[in-house]
């Protein structure tokens, strides 16, 4: 028996749409990360990038369980001394609601060259409309 591996050039990338309205962030992010990496396909191999594109709409209406709206902190570091800023999830939801979904998915993707390539296929929008109607995306149930 021979094991055949798909090459990255031979992959058929599809487009999927996820409606994040009322969905829990972590549970939704695991499904999105699996589709982005291609783990839902029978041709999955860890060293080959054969994942699909994912569009997330209504990111501003995503659900955080428990009291994470006030307790969960999002951090960023400028690189300078004293440059660490921490913001609660409620503040991040007002200013940049896409960041909540993007950062949750990024936490479930490997930190390497392939992971940086995979995260580029994630498109997140705060509202119900997106710019990718020409790609004819399929609805992904999460």
Question: What was the pLDDT predicted at 28?
Answer: 98
Question: What was the pLDDT predicted at 31?
Answer: 98
| Cβ atoms < 10 Å from Cβ of 95 | 8
Residue 48: CB partners within 8 Å, gap ≥ 6? 5, 6, 7, 8, 11, 38
CA distance 127 to 21: 10
In the chain the first and final C-alpha atoms are separated, in Å, by 36
Residue 43 DSSP code: T
Q: How far is CA 27 from the centre of its chain?
A: 11
Query: pLDDT truncated to tens, each residue of the chain (142 aa)?
Result: 888 888 888 889 999 999 999 999 999 999 999 999 999 998 899 999 999 999 999 999 999 999 999 999 999 999 999 999 999 999 999 999 999 999 999 999 999 999 999 999 999 999 999 999 999 999 999 8
Question: What was the pLDDT predicted at 79?
Answer: 96
Quickly name the fold that domain 14-129 has: Ribosomal Protein L13p; Chain: A; (3.90.1180)
Question: What was the pLDDT predicted at 82?
Answer: 97
Q: What is the residue extent of each domain of the chain?
A: 14-129
Instruction: Show the tokens assigned to 43.
Output: 């041709």
pTM: 0.93
Strand duo 84-88 + 73-77: pairing: antiparallel
CA distance 118 to 141: 20
């Amino acid at each position: 028996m021979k094991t055949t591996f798909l090459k990255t050039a031979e992959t058929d990338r599809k487009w999927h749409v996820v409606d994040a309205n009322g969905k829990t962030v972590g549970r939704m992010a695991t499904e999105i990360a699996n589709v982005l990496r291609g783990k839902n396909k029978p041709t999955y191999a860890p060293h080959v990038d054969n994942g699909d594109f994912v569009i997330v709409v209504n990111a501003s209406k995503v659900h955080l369980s428990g009291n994470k709206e006030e307790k969960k902190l999002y951090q960023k570091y400028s690189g300078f001394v004293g440059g660490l800023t921490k913001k609660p999830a409620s503040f991040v939801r007002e200013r940049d609601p896409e960041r909540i979904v993007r950062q949750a998915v990024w936490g479930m993707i490997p930190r390497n060259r392939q992971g940086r390539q995979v995260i580029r296929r994630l498109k997140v929008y705060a509202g119900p409309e997106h710019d990718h109607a020409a790609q004819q995306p399929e609805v992904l149930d999460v």
